Amino acid sequence: MSAQTKYVLDETHIPKAWYNLVADLPSPPPPVLHPGTHQPVGPDDLAPLFPMTLIAQEVTAEREVEIPEPVREVYRLWRPSPLYRARRLERELDTPAKIYYKYEGVSPAGSHKPNTAVPQAFYNQQAGIQRIATETGAGQWGSSLSFAGSLFGLEIDVFMVRVSYNQKPYRRALMESYGARCVPSPSEFTHAGRAILAKDPFHSGSLGIAISEAVEVAAQRDDTNYALGSVLNHVLLHQTVVGLESIEQMAMAGDDPDILIGCTGGGSNFGGLVFPYLGMQLRGGKKRRVIAVEPSACPSLTRGQYAYDFGDTAHLTPLTKMHTLGSAFTPPGFHAGGLRYHGMAPLVSHVKELGLIEARAYQQRACFEAGVIFARSEGIIPAPEANHAVRAAIDEALHAKVNGHSPVILFNLCGHGHFDMQAYIDFHAGKLVDQEYDETELAMALAALPSVSA
Amino acid sequence: MSAQTKYVLDETHIPKAWYNLVADLPSPPPPVLHPGTHQPVGPDDLAPLFPMTLIAQEVTAEREVEIPEPVREVYRLWRPSPLYRARRLERELDTPAKIYYKYEGVSPAGSHKPNTAVPQAFYNQQAGIQRIATETGAGQWGSSLSFAGSLFGLEIDVFMVRVSYNQKPYRRALMESYGARCVPSPSEFTHAGRAILAKDPFHSGSLGIAISEAVEVAAQRDDTNYALGSVLNHVLLHQTVVGLESIEQMAMAGDDPDILIGCTGGGSNFGGLVFPYLGMQLRGGKKRRVIAVEPSACPSLTRGQYAYDFGDTAHLTPLTKMHTLGSAFTPPGFHAGGLRYHGMAPLVSHVKELGLIEARAYQQRACFEAGVIFARSEGIIPAPEANHAVRAAIDEALHAKVNGHSPVILFNLCGHGHFDMQAYIDFHAGKLVDQEYDETELAMALAALPSVSA
């Protein structure tokens, strides 16, 4: 038994290829449909938004997709990320479980998001694109793409959900430090934004609206593309570096996880950790419990419908089959902004339907309690999103104590909370309250799902 | 020639002993004097504030001081810290110089400060102490000691300079997340604080005042000690893990630095990086240029007097011989709060007098310009303090280009700027202006230096 705390790899261990789960699945996920014709989209439908390399990655069935050397060169700035044994947390919980976590907060932007921002920026630059428009909620994706853009000489325009834009000036300053432009959404720069401001000049915005604005800008200009920080197959593909490194690091530790845990908003940090493990299982390997953790206030996997839906509010995106609360659903303004999205990655939804993963939802106070326990034992203050994974890991460790089991738990600590301290201030002041979505609004949003006969 | 970007070591390479420069100096630094008698202080004089182990470390002439295993165990959470070759920055500057940096921002509190907070908390816990009182300016030290206290079950009381307390609520939230208590200074809790508030109820505070408050609390209670985050010999001793690891990592890189650079406030991150290198030089090794970089608005090394002075405003501390602007000097409120101290570590002052190091001062706008160049090429957004070292490293690299030299530069990137983004907001908005100290105030503060015949 190793007594190490931290498992570090040198940069020669950065994966040379991303892993594509589709290659090992018993059935592929349902096709993406054109919003007008309801027919499967082809590459040409997506070409106004994405470079062809990413479109090809979106639909490939190859098991391995080579990581270009310029991307690996940037990955070296923080990858391989460390994997920790949470010995102090185990002691604090007095649990027979072993708890490991992969820590993605070491990236320059502080989360797993640069894992995909960097290749997306690279492929766009290779395709001769000058500018990328994108949306951001809490700001983690926007700052990650801004970082990646600064490295590849791309202009980055970020539409930031207005409520976050006002609440998180530090995230905005980070984007501007990387040279990006960041505007509050809804904005006056797009038809979609102006239409909403005409009805409500003080609209606080949503991810669905910000996506509409970014997609509109990208579709209009030949030199401009769009980039998404989660949900899509190619995004989850890029995140598999997390799981691939973890497999090697867990082998260094001499342990093999029984339980894998990740928080889910769009699904990318979760997929990044668990897909390589699911692949091994599908190829005849060990069966593990795989737990997706989402907020009770935006519970797409546990309360949504598995149906075709739009990714945005203005219905500019293609239709994807996913667990959705309906594109008209507006989640309450809880603190884990990165988990505040009506839909789930089609690939995560598909493996849920295949029975390969389980899902659970937590209220935010329980998650922040877990985050503070974690900070006081492991030192790292987790992002509000990551606190959902921490809560589930702690609960599994406490169950193990009751049941007399000693499972090996591995969770993805997908980012730090340095730019989210207002949430901790509210928590310490007793002002952070649990939030429920509106049942009537959910029913109406689900009733408004597009009717697709596929 | 290695083509690596990041030099990582596994945790077996965490140093087993700190390095004590005093063992290799041609003469020891002048003794610390009792503020009343002006006689050298003995251990008993310091016993109300510090545990005996730290008092012994303060005066030891041993070359190596063993790092206790429980301290090394905590160091494993982030140490060894990475050392980077700044290839992208070199390309951006188009310089023949090689630029390396040691990155201490990977610690839980985001700077080098936990390197000494952890052993200080450990030794206090071993001595049966329940509580530590301390001061903090920008909050990096306060959050580091709070982190360390949470690991060793100590109560931590932080007196935070009021202007920072109000400007940096996120740092405060971090301390509270670790379970510490943080109050604005001057406070009603001490004689020193009440005396100042009686004259000016809206006094914005200073490090010198906050030190007075913390020392007063510690001196009054048997279960409470005091801890300082810089200046003292034992603090600089603990920071030598930075330089010791760097020596090993530079060997991995196949390069040997010609120029070493660190920013200096109290002197601890600078001493931590350069003392092990100076030791090699003093034992007959290579001579390197060693550059201490300080803010023009608080230039103790470049404009201060080398004289005995108090460490605090209320004159509760012993007298130490150091480069000082006078304990009555109040530096202007520039953004690098960690460099806003009237004095310099006696050991750094001593090596400056011995001609072993050089010093220079920069205005803050030039430093933030350097920080943004760095962020856009290397991804990491530096702390305002660290920007001073970045500026000097960039300037040396640009000089090299003009002079046709290709020196190997190593600087200490002592922390990230995640909790200092307001400074970047001001910089981007053109509101960050250079600041000058008041020449008359400096003259008066120097005239008020205590008269010591030693």
Q: Which residue does chain B place closest to A171, by CA atoms?
A: B421
CA pair distance A80, A370, nearest whole angstrom: 26
| Contact state of A375 with B177 under an 8 Å Cβ cutoff | yes
Distance from CA of A421 to the nearest CA of B (A): 5
CA pair distance A385, A220, nearest whole angstrom: 33
Q: Which residue does chain B place closest to A420, by CA atoms?
A: B170
| Contact state of A419 with B418 under an 8 Å Cβ cutoff | yes
> How is residue A162 written in tokens?
């207005």
Task: Please report which helix (H) or strand (E) contains residue B409, including its range.
Answer: strand B408-413
| Of residues A8, A178, A375, nearest to B178 (C-beta) | A375
Task: Please say if the pLDDT value at position A332 is more than 90.
Answer: no
| Of residues A5, A10, A106, nearest to B77 (C-beta) | A5
CB contact B380 to A (< 8 Å) = yes
Q: Of B7, B9, B13, B77, which to mutate for an interface test with A (greatest number of A Cβ within 10 Å)?
A: B77
Between CA A59 and CA A65, with CA A63 as vertex, the angle to 5 degrees is 75
Task: Please say if the pLDDT value at position B454 is more than 70.
Answer: no
**β A6-7/A17-19 pair status:** unpaired
pLDDT of res. A1: 38
CB contact A379 to B (< 8 Å) = yes
Which tens digits make up the pLDDT trace of B93-139?
999 999 999 999 999 999 999 999 999 999 999 999 999 999 998 89
Amino acid at A232: L
CB contact B154 to A (< 8 Å) = no
From chain B, the residues in CB contact with A9 under 8 A are 8
CB contact A130 to B (< 8 Å) = no
| Contact state of A88 with B379 under an 8 Å Cβ cutoff | no
From chain A, the residues in CB contact with B150 under 8 A are 375-377
Which tens digits make up the pLDDT trace of A26-45?
999 999 999 999 999 999 99
Which tens digits make up the pLDDT trace of B6-42?
999 999 999 999 999 999 999 999 999 999 999 999 9
Q: How confident is the model at residue A337 (pLDDT cuts 50, 70, 90)?
A: confident
> How is residue A370 written in tokens?
């877990």
CB contact A170 to B (< 8 Å) = yes
pLDDT of res. B1: 38
Can you tell me the mean pLDDT for B31-56?
95
Phi then psi dihedrals of residue B50, to 5 deg: -130, 150
CB contact A378 to B (< 8 Å) = yes
CB contact A151 to B (< 8 Å) = yes
pLDDT of res. A266: 95
Q: Of B150, B170, B431, which to mutate for an interface test with A (greatest number of A Cβ within 10 Å)?
A: B170
pLDDT of res. A92: 96
Which tens digits make up the pLDDT trace of A68-110?
999 999 999 999 999 999 999 999 999 999 999 999 999 999 9
From chain A, the residues in CB contact with B174 under 8 A are 381, 421, 424
> How is residue A402 written in tokens?
């009751």
Domain spans of chain A? 68-110+234-447
Choose among A324, A348, A351, A344: nearest CA to A450.
Answer: A324
| Contact state of A376 with B88 under an 8 Å Cβ cutoff | no
| Contact state of A88 with B151 under an 8 Å Cβ cutoff | yes
| Interface subset of A 59-98, CB within 8 angstroms of B | 73, 76-78, 84, 88
The overall average pLDDT reported for chain B is 95
Give buried/exposed letters for A396-427 (b at 16+ CB in 10 A, else e).
bbeebeeeeeebbbbbbbbbbbbbbbbbbbbb
CB contact B381 to A (< 8 Å) = yes
Task: Please say if the pLDDT value at position A454 is more than 70.
Answer: no
Distance from CA of A8 to the nearest CA of B (A): 6
| Of residues A6, A147, A379, nearest to B11 (C-beta) | A6
Which tens digits make up the pLDDT trace of B366-378?
999 999 999 999 9
Distance from CA of B85 to the nearest CA of A (A): 10
Can you tell me the mean pLDDT for A179-196?
96
CB contact A376 to B (< 8 Å) = yes
DSSP A12-26: GGS-SEEE-GGGGSS
CB contact A380 to B (< 8 Å) = yes
Give buried/exposed letters for A293-325 (b at 16+ CB in 10 A, else e).
bbbbbbbbbebbbbbbbbbbbbbbbbbbbbbbb
Task: Please say if the pLDDT value at position A200 is more than 90.
Answer: yes
| Contact state of B170 with A421 under an 8 Å Cβ cutoff | yes
| Contact state of B77 with A428 under an 8 Å Cβ cutoff | no
Task: Please say if the pLDDT value at position A375 is more than 70.
Answer: yes
Can you tell me the mean pLDDT for B338-361?
96
Task: Please say if the pLDDT value at position B3 is more than 80.
Answer: no
| Of residues B8, B106, B176, nearest to A428 (C-beta) | B176
Can you tell me the mean pLDDT for A116-122?
98
| Contact state of A379 with B169 under an 8 Å Cβ cutoff | no
Can you tell me the mean pLDDT for A262-288?
97
Task: Please say if the pLDDT value at position A3 is more than 80.
Answer: no
Which tens digits make up the pLDDT trace of A306-320?
999 999 988 989 999
From chain B, the residues in CB contact with A378 under 8 A are 77, 108
Q: Which residue does chain A place closest to B173, by CA atoms?
A: A425
User: How far is C-alpha B33 from the chain's CA centre?
Assistant: 22
| Of residues B6, B8, B381, nearest to A177 (C-beta) | B381
Residue pair B186/B193 in contact (Cβ under 8 Å)? The answer is yes
From chain B, the residues in CB contact with A170 under 8 A are 170, 418, 421-422, 425
Can you tell me the mean pLDDT for A386-397?
98
Third-level CATH fold of A68-110+234-447: Rossmann fold (3.40.50)
CB contact A8 to B (< 8 Å) = yes
Can you tell me the mean pLDDT for B420-426?
94
| Contact state of A5 with B76 under an 8 Å Cβ cutoff | yes
Q: How confident is the model at residue A237 (pLDDT cuts 50, 70, 90)?
A: very high
Sequence-distant (≥ 6) Cβ neighbours of residue B81 within 8 angstroms: B102, B103, B104, B106, B107, B242, B245
Residue pair A310/A321 in contact (Cβ under 8 Å)? The answer is no
Q: Of B73, B83, B84, B376, which to mutate for an interface test with A (greatest number of A Cβ within 10 Å)?
A: B376
Q: Which residue does chain A place closest to B84, by CA atoms?
A: A77
Which tens digits make up the pLDDT trace of B214-258?
999 999 999 999 999 999 999 999 999 999 999 999 999 999 999
From chain A, the residues in CB contact with B151 under 8 A are 88, 377, 379
CA pair distance B160, B165, nearest whole angstrom: 6
| Contact state of B418 with A170 under an 8 Å Cβ cutoff | yes
Q: What percent of chain B has pLDDT over 70?
A: 99
In order of A449, B139, B251, the CA distances from A143 in angstroms are: 32, 24, 34
| Of residues A76, A110, A416, nearest to B6 (C-beta) | A76
Which tens digits make up the pLDDT trace of B305-329?
999 999 998 898 999 999 999 999 9
Residue pair B160/B142 in contact (Cβ under 8 Å)? The answer is yes
| Of residues A11, A418, A422, nearest to B4 (C-beta) | A11
Task: Please report which helix (H) or strand (E) contains residue A84, including its range.
Answer: strand A83-85
From chain B, the residues in CB contact with A415 under 8 A are none
pLDDT of res. B359: 98
| Contact state of B169 with A425 under an 8 Å Cβ cutoff | yes
CB contact A425 to B (< 8 Å) = yes
Choose among B408, B118, B417, B77: nearest CA to B263.
Answer: B417
| Contact state of B76 with A147 under an 8 Å Cβ cutoff | no
Alpha helices in B284-383 (DSSP H): 300-303, 346-353, 364-378
From chain B, the residues in CB contact with A178 under 8 A are 375-376
From chain A, the residues in CB contact with B8 under 8 A are 8-11
